[in-house]
């Protein structure tokens, strides 16, 4: 599948910003299963300092920029083409039991990629919660194949948590999400990560996009799409399995990876520090369109 992606973020300030420094995760990763071309990032007003070829600690392409001219509006737009391939089949043969690959069974010298350890322990938005362990346990009985356990966990999050864009914000504690059983894709990814880590597994947060389809008889609205998020769990001997609890599915051709990290804090699309500005409003418009 080939998609054309456009992501525009506009900040409007009540007072002029005198100086701002920003880091953005808007250039997608080159990963197995997707090929990226024609990437462009446009920033208005034009930055005085721009470094657009770096990577962060997790290997995500990162754009760093500084705007020194006073401004009341900041607009950042990313566009690219992406070709996605079909997700490899789920591991079927010799799938290990989940409790044979949990953290406390990982002996030294096993050939494990040390970077996996970044995704085992608590992180800023995914603390250690007994509520996560309690929710996860029914999906992880002793001896259950790891893939089967993860797919079941994904299904249960989809069924037991309600999608409600008004229920949470970026700063809503994960404990609140467990208590109220409401949230959005970011929250559901964090729930899945917390559950997997509570079982001693390595799980990371994946940000990106998903192709959406307009309801029958209606045209798709320009800018109506949004960023998406899901989780990925490490399966020794096979790799990372991407799971989308918002849609109760294994991530596939309609999922476009931009960045990954321990949780949302590591991969937020745009973050920064501003001098001045007063209050501000943010508007985000995303289009994911199938292309020829």
Task: Please check whether residue 67 is in contact with residue 47, taking contact to mean a CB–CB distance below 8 angstroms.
Answer: yes
Question: CA angle 257-260-270, nearest 5°?
Answer: 90
The CATH fold of domain 2-85+268-290: Immunoglobulin-like (2.60.40)
pLDDT at res. 56: 95
pLDDT at res. 87: 66
* Delimiting residues of CATH 2.60.40.2250 domain(s) in the chain: 2-85+268-290
pLDDT at res. 237: 78
Q: Which of 251, 165, 267, 160 is nearest to 211 (CA)?
A: 251
* Delimiting residues of CATH 3.10.620.30 domain(s) in the chain: 98-265
166 burial type by CB count under 10 A (0-12 exposed, 13-18 middle, 19+ buried): exposed
Q: Which residues in the chain show pLDDT less than 50?
A: 109, 221-224
Query: How far is Cα 206 from Cα 211, in angstroms, rounded to an integer?
Result: 16
Question: CA angle 137-164-86, nearest 5°?
Answer: 70
Length of the chain: 292
The CATH fold of domain 98-265: C8orf32 fold (3.10.620)
pLDDT at res. 106: 64
pLDDT digits (tens, 9 = 90+) for 174-197: 999 999 999 999 999 999 999 999
Query: How far is Cα 288 from Cα 78, in angstroms, rounded to an integer?
Result: 12
pLDDT at res. 256: 93
pLDDT at res. 16: 95
pLDDT at res. 257: 95
pLDDT digits (tens, 9 = 90+) for 204-258: 999 999 987 665 656 554 434 778 999 999 988 788 999 999 999 999 888 999 9
Question: CA angle 98-103-109, nearest 5°?
Answer: 110
């Amino acid at each position: 599948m080939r998609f054309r992606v456009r992501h525009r973020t506009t900040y409007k300030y009540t007072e002029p910003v005198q100086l701002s420094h920003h880091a953005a995760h808007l250039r997608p990763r080159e990963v197995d299963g997707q090929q990226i071309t024609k990437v462009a990032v446009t920033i208005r007003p034009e930055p005085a300092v721009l470094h657009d070829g770096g990577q962060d600690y997790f290997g995500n392409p990162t754009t760093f920029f500084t705007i020194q001219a006073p401004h009341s509006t900041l607009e950042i737009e990313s566009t690219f083409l992406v070709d996605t391939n079909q997700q490899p089949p789920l591991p079927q043969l010799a799938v290990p039991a989940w409790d044979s690959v949990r953290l406390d069974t990982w002996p030294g010298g096993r050939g494990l990629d040390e970077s996996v350890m970044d995704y085992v322990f608590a992180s800023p938005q995914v603390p250690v919660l007994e509520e996560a362990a309690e929710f996860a346990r029914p999906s992880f009985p002793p001896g259950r194949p790891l893939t089967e356990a993860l797919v079941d966990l994904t299904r249960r999050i989809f069924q037991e948590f309600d999608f409600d864009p008004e229920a949470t914000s970026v700063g809503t504690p994960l404990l609140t999400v467990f208590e109220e059983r409401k949230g959005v894709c970011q929250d559901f990814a964090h729930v899945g990560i917390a559950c997997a880590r509570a079982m001693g597994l390595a799980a990371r947060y994946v940000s990106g996009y998903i192709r959406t389809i307009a309801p029958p008889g209606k045209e798709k609205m320009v800018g109506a799409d949004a960023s998406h998020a899901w989780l990925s769990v490490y399966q020794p001997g096979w790799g990372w399995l991407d799971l989308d609890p918002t849609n109760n599915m294994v991530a596939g051709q309609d999922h476009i990876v931009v960045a990954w990290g321990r949780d949302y804090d590591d991969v937020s699309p745009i973050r920064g520090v501003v001098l001045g500005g007063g209050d501000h409003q943010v508007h985000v418009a995303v289009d994911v369109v199938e292309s020829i």
